[in-house]
Amino acid sequence: MKTYDELTADFCSQIRALDIIEIEDIPNIDLYMDQVTTFMEKSLKCYKRSESDKILTKTMINNYAKAKIFPAPVKKKYSQTHLMLLIMIYHLKSILSIKDIGTLFHSALAEQDPVQQAKVIGSIYSGFIYLQKAVQNTLSASAQGVPDQTFFERDFISEFPNEETKQIMMVLFLVIRANVEKQLAERALDSAFSKK
């Protein structure tokens, strides 16, 4: 069994190992379904608890579209906006229900103009990336005994122009934090108590 100090060191390294997919890392060309699942599998593999876990399947994507939390593809192709939504959905679904995710993204998905919809979703995704980094920094600092830094997240959220976006960012922040802590708890459990 590992010592507490070894688990703390593992905790810090695991936080740093969690990949954040920047907008520039997402293909800016439309992809077919198989390309989408391959991209997601490759980009989010660090979040798998075991090698056999699936990040995203065709059935999941189709179900998200049927549940209207994800726009239908255009001529069987998925845009960068679709990929941003899928990445956020992946992170949200272990904490929120599909219905709750639909409620969270309702206003962005209700936007009829595709250009405006892409802009709104891009803005939400940019905030999502910032919050992922802030949560990682806060948890890493906490593991090293540095006081909590969450005031940075509050300052960031307060800069959004409208109340609805601020509320979306607050939900994203809370879910990201809960999800990262859940994943780290699973990894600590696996690391500390796995059979040798």
Confidence of residue 88 (pLDDT cuts 50, 70, 90): very high
Question: Taking all residues of the chain, what is their mean pLDDT, rounded to a whole number?
Answer: 84
Q: What is the mean predicted confidence (pLDDT) over 49-57?
A: 86
- CA neighbor of 61 nearest in space, from 50, 46, 71, 75: 71
The band of 180, judged by pLDDT with boundaries at 50, 70 and 90, is: confident
Q: Would the pLDDT of 152 be above 60?
A: no
The answer to whether the Cα torsion of 106, 184, 133, 42 is positive or negative is negative
Instruction: Please give the average per-residue pLDDT across 56-76, as a whole number.
Output: 90
What's the Cα-to-Cα distance from 26 to each of 36, 38, 39, 163, 190, rounded to whole Å? 10, 12, 9, 28, 31
| Residue 102 confidence (pLDDT) | 92
Backbone φ, ψ for residue 195 (5° rounding): -75, 135
pLDDT over 60 (residue 151):
no
Instruction: Calculate mean pLDDT across residues 92-113.
Output: 90
Bridge partners (DSSP) of residue 78 are 31
- Rounded Cα distance, 128 and 111, in Å: 19
Q: Which helix (H) or strand (E) holds 22?
A: none
Per-domain residue ranges for the chain? 4-26+81-193
Which run of H or E residues covers position 28?
none
What amino acid occupies position 127? Answer: G
Spatial separation of the C-alpha atoms in residues 193 and 21, rounded to whole Å: 31
161 Cβ contact partners less than 8 Å away, ≥ 6 residues apart? none
Q: At what angle do helices 33-43 and 80-92 cross, to 10 degrees?
A: 50
Please tell me the predicted confidence (pLDDT) of residue 4.
62
**Using the 8-state DSSP alphabet, how is residue 76 labeled?**
T
Amino acid, res. 82:
H
State both tokens at 183: 């994943």
Q: Of the given ranges (18-32, 71-85, 88-102, 154-168), which has the lowest mean pLDDT?
A: 154-168
Joined together, the tokens standing for residue 18 give: 């969690």
Cβ pair 131, 172 in contact under 8 A: yes
pLDDT for the residue 105: 92
Closest by CA to 121, choosing from 19, 18, 23, 21, is 23
